[in-house]
Amino acid sequence: TGEDGVELLVRHQDVLPLWQALIEQGAPLGLLPVGLAARDSLRTEAAYPLYGAELNEHLTPLEAGLGWSVKLDKPEPFIGQAALQAQKTNGLARHLTCLEMTAKAIPRPHDAIEDEAGRSLGEVTSGCFSPSLDKPIAMGYINGPAPLALGTTVAVVCRGKAQPARVVQRPFYGGPS
């Protein structure tokens, strides 16, 4: 999610007693249970890609902005190495891009991203209202050999209506400093 946290792995029979103890003991500290919507808004604010949204078998780590995670010059070849090297040499067909809505509409997966003339640029992969930024945000893939410049104005077609947005730096929010 981009936030500090822990993951607890316990035996099945210990789950409920542990849950109850955490809620009871954590209440004075403000501990509250949250669900997947909270997780999704946090990971979107941190611009963390999610498999099935920003990551799948048709997208590469380079397109997803995860080039740092791939060592292209490994001495032993790996599956996909040649394709990634070709992308690095020839350029990418699409780029994962962060968008901040300048309207109140909340983008949803598969909403179209267009330029100011209404031409298709790509589509949204994740979108939500950001509690930390108090505005809607989205990630999506923009087609083209070069990423759009920060501050570029685009439109996201939310429920059939073009809504203004602008390209922003990744991540949207990095937590308290």
Angle among Cα 105, 110, 114 to the nearest 5 degrees reads 70
Select from 2.40.30.110, 3.40.640.10, 3.30.1780.10, 1.20.120.530 the CATH code of 44-168. Answer: 2.40.30.110
Rounded distance, CA 57 to CA 98, Å?
Answer: 21
Task: Return contacts of 82-91, CB within 8 angstroms, 24+ apart.
Answer: 84/60, 87/60, 87/62, 87/63, 88/62, 91/145, 91/146
Per-residue pLDDT reduced to its tens digit, 3-52: 777 888 999 999 999 999 999 999 999 998 888 888 899 999 999 999 99
The pLDDT tens digits of the residues spanning 81-114 come to 999 999 999 999 999 999 999 999 999 999 999 9
pTM of the model: 0.85
